[in-house]
C-alpha cells in the first residue's frame, strides 16, 4: 500500500524592506509525519548557510581537564556493574567499555565508552567503532532484559556526538537505556505501527520504503538490508532514517545488520561533515516481539551552531510546542546525500 505524504503550503505576505517595501509573498510548509501525524515545519530559507565549527580549541581545553573515560583513569573512577549484570565489572568488547551511568535517568541506564581515544573527529568515525560499541550496548541490553524482564522492557541505543548535541563529555560515548515504559516518541512509533498494520493489513515500514523508492524524492540508498531515506517530516536538520525491514527486537539484530547500519551511518556522518553539520544525535529504535508492524530503524539528525557556538538550534518550537523544524528541504538533503551511497 502506498504512503500518503501530506503537506500544507502556507503563504505569508509582507512589505519587503529589501525591495522598496513592495508586497512580497513567502511560502513555508507544514508537513505531517505519515506514521504519527506529528507536525514538522519547513522554514522558507532556501540558501541557509550553516557555518563550519572548529572544535579544536574545545578539544584541546578538554585534554587539559580531567576525563573519566580516558584509559589511564577509567578503571579507577567509573562505576562497575553488580555481579548479576556483569561479573567482570565492566563489559568490554574490542575498544568499547560499557559502564553504569552515574546519573541514571531510567531504571537501566549505561554508557558505552566507544574508544580509548579521547576525541574522534567526524571524518575519523569508522564502521568498526560503531559496530563494536553498538554490539557492546546490545550485550548490556540482552543481559538486563534477561535479568529483569519486568523492568527492562523497552530499550534504545543513543549517541550524542559532541557537547553541542548534548554530550556532556567530548570523549565519544553512547547512552543505553532499558525501562518499563517506552520513551514518549518510541511509544508513538510502536502504537502507530501496530495501528497501521491493523487498519491496512500492511507493514508501515515496508510500505514507506516502497513508496519512497517509487517517489525517488527522498530515497537515498541501500547498505545491505538497510534502506536509507531522508525523513519526509524531519525531526531536525538532515533527519535520515535507516530502516531494517523484518527485524523488531534486540535479539533479531545480527552482526551483518550492525555492519549494514554502521556503513550507512558513516556515509551520513561524512555528508554532515562536508555540509558543516558538526554535531549530531542518533538513536536505534527497537520494539518488543509482541508489537506487530514495527521495524528496527536508526535515525540520525544533524545539529548545527548558529553564529559559531553562541546560538542554539533548539528553540521554543521544539521545547514549548513540540513542533520540530528544519531549514533545509528533505528532498535537497536526499539529492546530495545520494552521492555518498
Q: Count the residues of the shown chain that bind Zn ion, applying the rule CB under 5 A.
A: 5
* In the complex, least distance from residue 119 CB atom to Zn ion, rounded to whole angstroms: 8
* In the complex, least distance from residue 210 CB atom to Zn ion, rounded to whole angstroms: 44
C-alpha dist (Å) from residue 205 to 1, 3, 46, 143? 11, 10, 30, 28
Binding of residue 41 to Zn ion (CB under 5 A): no
Q: Report how far residue 62's alpha carbon sits from residue 118's, in angstroms, rounded to the nearest whole number.
A: 9
Interface residue with Zn ion among 33, 35, 41, 69 (CB under 5 A) is 69
Do strands 39-42 and 325-326 pair parallel, antiparallel, or not at all (unpaired)?
parallel
Binding of residue 173 to Zn ion (CB under 5 A): no
Binding of residue 67 to Zn ion (CB under 5 A): yes
Residue closest to 29 by CA, chosen among 45, 15, 16, 18: 45
* 329: CB partners within 8 A, 6+ apart: 42
Binding of residue 117 to Zn ion (CB under 5 A): no
Interface residue with Zn ion among 32, 92, 118, 273 (CB under 5 A) is 118
Binding of residue 177 to Zn ion (CB under 5 A): no
* In the complex, least distance from residue 97 CB atom to Zn ion, rounded to whole angstroms: 12
* φ and ψ at residue 219, rounded to 5 degrees: -75, 130
Between 100 and 238, name the residue whose CB sits nearer to Zn ion: 100
Binding of residue 70 to Zn ion (CB under 5 A): yes
Residue closest to 276 by CA, chosen among 303, 242, 248, 298: 303
Interface with Zn ion (CB under 5 A): 67, 69-70, 118, 171
Amino acid at each position: 500500500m502506498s504512503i500518503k505524504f501530506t503537506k500544507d503550503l502556507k503563504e505569508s505576505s509582507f512589505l519587503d524592506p529589501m525591495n522598496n517595501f513592495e508586497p512580497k509573498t513567502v511560502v513555508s510548509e507544514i508537513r505531517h509525519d505519515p506514521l504519527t501525524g506529528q507536525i514538522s515545519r519547513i522554514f522558507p530559507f532556501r540558501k541557509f548557510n550553516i557555518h563550519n565549527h572548529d572544535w579544536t580549541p574545545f578539544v584541546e581545553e578538554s585534554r587539559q581537564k580531567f576525563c573519566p573515560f580516558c584509559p589511564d583513569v577509567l578503571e579507577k573512577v567509573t562505576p562497575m556493574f553488580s555481579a548479576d549484570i556483569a561479573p567482570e565489572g565492566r563489559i568490554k568488547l574490542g575498544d568499547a567499555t560499557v559502564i553504569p551511568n552515574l546519573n541514571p535517568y531510567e531504571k537501566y541506564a549505561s554508557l558505552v565508552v566507544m574508544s580509548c581515544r579521547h576525541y574522534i573527529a567526524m571524518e575519523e568515525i569508522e564502521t568498526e567503532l560503531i559496530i563494536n560499541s553498538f554490539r557492546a550496548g546490545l550485550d548490556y541490553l540482552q543481559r538486563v532484559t534477561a535479568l529483569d524482564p519486568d523492568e527492562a522492557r523497552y530499550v534504545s541505543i543513543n549517541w550524542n556526538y559532541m557537547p553541542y548535541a548534548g554530550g556532556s563529555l567530548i570523549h565519544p560515548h553512547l547512552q543505553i537505556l532499558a525501562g518499563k515504559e517506552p520513551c514518549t516518541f518510541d511509544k508513538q512509533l510502536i502504537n502507530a505501527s501496530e495501528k497501521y498494520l491493523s487498519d491496512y493489513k500492511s507493514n508501515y515500514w515496508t510500505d514507506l520504503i516502497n513508496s519512497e523508492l517509487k517517489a525517488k524524492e527522498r530515497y537515498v540508498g541501500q547498505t545491505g538490508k538497510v534502506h536509507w531515506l531522508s525523513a519526509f517530516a524531519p525531526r531536525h536538520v538532515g533527519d535520515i532514517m535507516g530502516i531494517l525491514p523484518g527485524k523488531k527486537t534486540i535479539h533479531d539484530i545480527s552482526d551483518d545488520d550492525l555492519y549494514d547500519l554502521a556503513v550507512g551511518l558513516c556515509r551520513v556522518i561524512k555528508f554532515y561533515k562536508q555540509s558543516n553539520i558538526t554535531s549530531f544525535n542518533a538513536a536505534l529504535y527497537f520494539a518488543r516481539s509482541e508489537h506487530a508492524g514495527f521495524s528496527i530503524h536508526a535515525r540520525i539528525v544533524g545539529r548545527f551552531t548558529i553564529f559559531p557556538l553562541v546560538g542554539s538550534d533548539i528553540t521554543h518550537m521544539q521545547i514549548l510546542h513540540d513542533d520540530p523544524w528544519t531549514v533545509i528541504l528533505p528532498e535537497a538533503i536526499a539529492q546530495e546525500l545520494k552521492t555518498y551511497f
